[in-house]
Amino acid sequence: MKTRLNVAQYFELPETVRPMELLYGVVREPPAPRYGHQAIVTHLTVLLDAHVRAHALGRLCVSPIDVVLDRDGALVVQPDIIFIAADRLHIIKDRIWGAPDLVVEVLSPKTAKRDRTTKLGWYRRYGVKECWLVDPKEQRVEVVDLVAPVVRRKTFSASMPVRSRVFPDFRAKAVEFFR
């Protein structure tokens, strides 16, 4: 049986750049993502950061960064990219203490199902407004609105501009995510 940790015990572990999450008290340490995954994360971070800075929208951060969704329930995740709106910067401390406005998950063969189901459920439950599921294999971006009474999903590919409730003025085409 694995030892269960609370959030304070988790944060006492040695600092690492390896992916690591605390899932209701259980530490999960998957292997590091592959190069193609990280290349997309890097490129998308640059694209989004330019937009966020140009419009003074808030702060963007790339994983690994701990996002504490549920302190009492010991749920800490590390999305690939997070965005916190300017009016919510107070949740940024030594870590992110609360739900980001936007999370981006670049799908990998071994994580796609979990990202589309379990993590998406957590994001909705704990107040994330929007999640982008970026699929390198299919070269498409699925924008999931988690605020609506019923989850709404829109898929963008090729030359379609990606539309977002969180970034209404963002105009990048889906194909640009994969260059």
Tens digits of residue pLDDT in 9-42: 999 999 888 889 999 999 998 888 899 999 999 9
Q: Give the per-residue pLDDT at 32.
A: 85
3 state SS of 149: coil
- Per the structure block, which two tokens stand in for 109? 């063969």
Phi, psi of 114 (to 5 degrees): -65, -40
**Contact in structure between 70 and 10 (CB atoms under 8 Å):** no
Q: Please name each of the domains of the chain with its CATH number.
A: 34-64+78-178 (3.90.1570.10)
Fill in the amino acid letter for 72: D
Tens digits of residue pLDDT in 110-128: 889 999 999 999 999 999 9
Give Cα separations from 154 to 49, 105, 124, 126 (angstroms): 22, 15, 16, 21
- The better pLDDT of the pair 151, 158 is held by 158
94, 64, 4, 130 alpha-carbon torsion, rounded to 10°: 90
* H or E element in which residue 36 lies: helix 35-54
Strands 102-106 and 81-85: antiparallel
- Per the structure block, which two tokens stand in for 139? 């070269």
- Per the structure block, which two tokens stand in for 178? 């994969």
Mean pLDDT along residues 59-79? 96
